[in-house]
Structure 1
Amino acid sequence: MPITPDHAGKSYAPTRAYEVTHGKLAEFAAALGDPLVEGSGPVVAPPTFGAVVTGPAWDVLFTDPELGLTLSRVVHADQQFRYHRPLEPGDVVTATLSITKVRVRGTTEIITTSVEVRDAVEQPVLVADATFVHSREEAA
């Protein structure tokens, strides 16, 4: 059964705990060509590091057999991070994905998700909203 508007509201279990470390932040910043600046305060994650901690939650969505999604047919159309506070080395976080809206137009499915990231004491750290466009092959 392919994804339908009835899947809006579906939530998944939290991801395994992920520990944010100085090394992971430095590697991510270097990959962006913008090494971490150290010195005048605590090191915090670059804003787009949120994709690292939310990625496993998106993986659960893309591999859910009930939805019938094919990752090679998905386009990441939009994304927004809303931070309650910056991610810092030592944070241990989990991410919980919810499908907030599904629109179907012919063989195109537009899927809006929200991933809530919480720390080890269940305090909110960030919310990542994303929209994915999935192109389903036409029935033979």
Structure 2
Amino acid sequence: MAAYTQKNILITGAARFIASHVANRLVSNYPGYKIVVLDKLDYCSNLKKLLPSGSSPNFKFVKGDIGSANLVNYLLITESIDTIMHFAAQTHVDNSFGNSFEFTKNNIYGTHVILEACKVTGQVKRFIHVSTDEVYGETDDNAIVGDCEPS
């Protein structure tokens, strides 16, 4: 794969704890990058977490759902997105027991929408998926953590 330099980064779920820190750090440390953040502002989001970036010229906030294929495709094309950092997901296992369909819609279908948009537009060079055990599952106590695939 040819090397590239990211210029236009989409961060999903950016009004949440970890993603907001990543977005704020990228905005302040890399003024040459355009940082577009997408969040639907649900129960675990807080727009105040993005206040440090709000007035920066390389920052754009979009309120919307990763489950909207039209919105995701539109953002990838109009913002010339070349990198996605996908943090958006429903969390808190106890909440999933009462509303498992909503978790599936957000965590699986939403990720599928983003991946399909990457395929359709053909312009995203790097996709980074950051999530929790609600998405990935738990690790066995004796599991080897890290890159375990053979070289």
TM-score, normalised via structure 2 length: 0.23
Q: Which has the higher helix share?
A: 2
Structure showing greater relative contact order (alpha-carbon pairs closer than 8 Å, 6 or more residues apart): 1
Larger CA Rg, structure 1 vs 2:
1
Q: Which has the higher strand share?
A: 1
